[in-house]
Amino acid sequence: MHFQKAPHGESKLVRCLRGCVWDVIIDLRETSPTYLHWQGFELASSNRHQLYVPEGFAHGFQTLCDDVEMGYLISTPYAAEFSSGVRHDDPAFGIVWPLPIAAISSRDLGWPDYL
């Protein structure tokens, strides 16, 4: 689950160009009434849905089939020093993933508890 910290926060428009994914966003805006809430969406080349991810949200996805291709439009250029994330299994969020996690980077496994 990734995001960029201020002052390089970004909004995204995400689409699955090939295959199918379960796409999840988490509201990390502390003053929001939906702070720490997550929501999941199925994005697939067959349904052609797109997802707008506002600034202040973490974003991640799980592939639901082999051979997936994603497309992103982002509002701000990537700034590595402002890149951050939260774990997919952090108890602060309680995200329910449709499949067991089969592959994940060591970086993404190493994020500390959010709260």
Q: Beta strands 2-4 and 38-44: pairing type?
A: unpaired
| Segment (H or E) for 107 | helix 106-109
Q: Which of 2, 8, 49, 114 is catalytic?
A: 2
Instruction: Respond yes or no: is residue 52 known to be catalytic.
Output: no
Strand ranges in the chain using DSSP code E only, listed in sequence order: 2-4, 12-18, 20-27, 38-44, 50-53, 57-63, 69-74, 83-85
Q: Which residue has the tokens 């997919």?
A: 88
Instruction: Respond yes or no: is residue 2 known to be catalytic.
Output: yes
Q: Which of 35, 52, 72, 78 is catalytic?
A: 72
Catalytic machinery residues: 2, 72
